Amino acid sequence: MSKRLTVLLLGSGGREHALAWKMAQSPLVEKVHVLPGNPGMATQDGRIVCVSGDIGKIAQELKPDLIVIGPEKPMADGVVDRLEAARFTVLGASRAAAQLESSKIFSKEFMQAEDIPTARAVTCNGYAAARAALKTWDVENKGVVIKADGLAAGKGVVVTKDRAEAEQTLHDFMVDAGHPVKAERVLLEETLHGREVSAFALCDGMRFLPFGYICDHKRVFDGNRGPNTGGMGAFSSQDWPSPAARAFISENIFAATLRGMNKRGTPFKGVLFAGLMVDGDDVNVIEFNVRLGDPETQALLPLIESDLVPLFLAAAKGDLSNCSAPHIADETTVHVVMTSAGYPSQNMKLGETIILNPITNDNTQVFFAGIAAKDGSFVNSGGRVLGVTARGATLETARKQAYARIDNISFKGAHWRRDIGGQ
């Protein structure tokens, strides 16, 4: 038998836990090293281990057969370019291709140039220009979407029909030095109507494989109330979007994006995530991301029954021509996120001991994110602490299983939505 593979995965959240969990199941893989990972990922059998240090030095020490980049920021910072220059096989977007996510304005102008369906938008360079543009906008009747240009960890988009809130958002993003989102340029977009879905494609620069559809819940409170978060939960849909909409997405969004990026000399390799608004068979792109979503990954990967490692390797090497789309089970999943008290504000209560009570006949999976180890236990160390995924024949079956597991996990101040997967 040939030598089994070593994989290095960059990231530390629930998405990376799910990726490590899935890749470690591959018979091709000896070990998955996660940099930096979190203590909830590591397995007793040593198949998943967490490492620390500089990625360049760690890569030289481990000499992995495959490097997978989880979060967007390293790609925007050029990590893939540097690793590939050092002759490593990397699944992830180059710095130039990562602009599809790292610059909302680049992405919008790209979609307009390639006739990829998206909302009408105005680019505003500077606070004065943004305020002037907002004055011409019919905010009260039609609403407005305000997007900070750069990466903002899921907090750089505000949708509102309240003019005062829109004006405050511009001030927050562009003037307030204490605000976590900082932008010199913003987009004002018209609102879209329909249902949101996240679509994924694994890309090798020229070709792509459809990788599934997941719906997520971004607002912090039940009923889609409160501020946006990085994601409070997600669920899969067995029969939506329609086959016609999926065909449209493949040709007019994913294929068109790969063609357009190739034309620019910046081919896209990695996972392309299209956030979509679907109204019947009418589809528009809300935004692009250049990686798997969080928490969408935690709902998606438990449904995929194929070995992902050969597909990741083929995409990273730039040739998916002999690969087929992964087999996705004809079931559904629900993923529920538990957060620290106060999330998504910066005023959170951290360091609380997490109690994980076992339950019988449990087929759920816990994916850890914002945790640390202390005195032999886990404590919460970030906003999104962990999430539970359940898989079932129906959405309601999966929901019941996920919430039964959530009800047996506790830490002081824990918050979670009770309506994830609700239709």
171 and 203 fall within a common domain = no
What's the pLDDT score for residue 267? 98
349 part of a folded domain:
yes
100 part of a folded domain:
no
301 part of a folded domain:
yes
Compute the average pLDDT of residues 44-63.
95
298 and 377 fall within a common domain = yes
Residue 417 burial (CB < 10 Å; 0-12/13-18/19+)?
A: buried
Lowest mean pLDDT among 1-10, 79-88, 92-101, 261-270: 1-10
pTM (global) more than 0.85:
yes
170 and 70 fall within a common domain = no
Tens digits of residue pLDDT in 271-289? 999 999 999 889 999 999 9
Lowest mean pLDDT among 22-31, 76-85, 130-139, 197-206: 130-139
Q: What's the CA gap between 159 and 285, in Å, rounded?
A: 15
68 and 126 fall within a common domain = no
Sheet containing 157-160: order of strands: 121-125, 185-189, 144-148, 157-160
Domain that holds residue 255: 196-423
146 and 236 fall within a common domain = no
What's the pLDDT score for residue 169? 93
203 part of a folded domain:
yes
Lowest mean pLDDT among 255-269, 292-306, 324-338, 355-369: 355-369
Is the distance from CB of 256 to CB of 77 less than 8 angstroms? no
Q: What's the CA gap between 286 and 100, in Å, rounded?
A: 12
Q: Is the per-residue pLDDT at 62 higher than 70?
A: yes
Compute the average pLDDT of residues 12-35.
97
183 and 214 fall within a common domain = no
Q: Percent of the chain at pLDDT above 70?
A: 99
223 part of a folded domain:
yes
Tokens of 82: 């540097």
Tens digits of residue pLDDT in 88-110? 999 999 999 999 999 999 999 99
45 and 173 fall within a common domain = no
Q: Which of 189, 215, 232 is the last residue of a domain?
A: 189
Tens digits of residue pLDDT in 2-19? 689 999 999 999 999 999
Compute the average pLDDT of residues 377-398.
96
- Average pLDDT taken over every residue of the chain: 94
What's the pLDDT score for residue 410? 96
319 and 217 fall within a common domain = yes
Which of 336, 284, 230 lies closest to 117, judged by CA? 284
301 and 358 fall within a common domain = yes
Q: What's the CA gap between 246 and 237, in Å, rounded?
A: 13
Q: What is the CATH number of the domain that holds 155?
A: 3.30.1490.20
Q: Which of 171, 189, 207 is the last residue of a domain?
A: 189
115 part of a folded domain:
no
Q: What is the CATH number of the domain that holds 61?
A: 3.40.50.20
Q: Which of 141, 160, 189 is the last residue of a domain?
A: 189
Compute the average pLDDT of residues 354-372.
89
252 and 201 fall within a common domain = yes
Q: Is the per-residue pLDDT at 256 higher than 80?
A: yes
What's the pLDDT score for residue 1? 42
Tens digits of residue pLDDT in 144-194? 999 999 887 767 888 899 999 999 999 999 999 888 888 899 999 999 999
Q: Is the per-residue pLDDT at 361 higher than 70?
A: no
What's the pLDDT score for residue 406? 96
What's the pLDDT score for residue 156? 86
Tally of structural domains, the chain: 3
174 and 253 fall within a common domain = no
104 part of a folded domain:
no
85 and 213 fall within a common domain = no
Q: What is the CATH number of the domain that holds 207?
A: 3.30.470.20
More confident of the two residues 362 and 59: 59
Is the distance from CB of 390 to CB of 402 less than 8 angstroms? yes
Sheet containing 282-289: order of strands: 282-289, 269-279, 195-204, 208-221, 225-236, 332-339, 384-392, 365-368
Q: Is the per-residue pLDDT at 69 higher than 90?
A: yes
Compute the average pLDDT of residues 320-341.
96
102 part of a folded domain:
no
Tokens of 138: 């019919």
